[in-house]
């Protein structure tokens, strides 16, 4: 059977509602780094604790970014992905903070970050 993007509502065929975009942040900590701060629409949303993943509810048009702090003698790498494909990384070292680029959600894309903290 083929999938059709239509639904039946009150006896009529209507287009199915598109799914919302998604955002997840995976934080792998090997250096005792503090948590990752997640911002949504310019305001603090939540903290991602070490070695966990946080799912953030978003809709098209929402903006988001992270603020991360590295440990002294350590480094952090934040890899940004859309639909599982890396769009590039940002890094910070030796206690410097990192604010990722502000992104805007659209369509039904799956957005994610993989944040890794480690020591030299």
DSSP 11: T
Q: Does the reported pTM lie above 0.75?
A: yes
Mean pLDDT of the 52-60 span: 96
Give the confidence band of 18 by pLDDT, cuts at 50, 70, 90: low
Output the six-digit token pair for 69: 């702090």
Contact 117, 29 (CB under 8 A): yes
> Does CATH place domain 19-119 in 3.30.1490?
no
Q: What is the pLDDT of residues 19-48, one digit of tens each?
A: 899 999 999 998 877 779 999 999 999 999
> Helix, strand, coil: what percent of the chain each, to 5?
0, 60, 40
For residues 27 and 48, the answer to whether their CB atoms sit within 8 Å is yes
């Amino acid at each position: 059977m083929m999938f059709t993007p239509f639904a039946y509502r009150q006896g009529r065929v209507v287009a199915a509602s598109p799914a919302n975009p998604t955002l997840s942040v995976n934080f792998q900590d090997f250096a005792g780094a503090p948590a990752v701060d997640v911002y949504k629409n310019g305001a603090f949303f939540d903290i991602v604790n070490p070695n966990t993943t946080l799912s953030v509810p978003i809709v098209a048009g929402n903006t988001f970014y992270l603020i991360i702090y590295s440990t002294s003698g350590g480094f952090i790498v934040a890899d940004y992905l859309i639909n599982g494909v890396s769009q590039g990384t940002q890094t910070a070292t030796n206690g410097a903070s990192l604010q990722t680029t502000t992104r805007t959600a659209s369509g039904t894309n799956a957005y994610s970050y993989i944040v890794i903290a480690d020591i030299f």
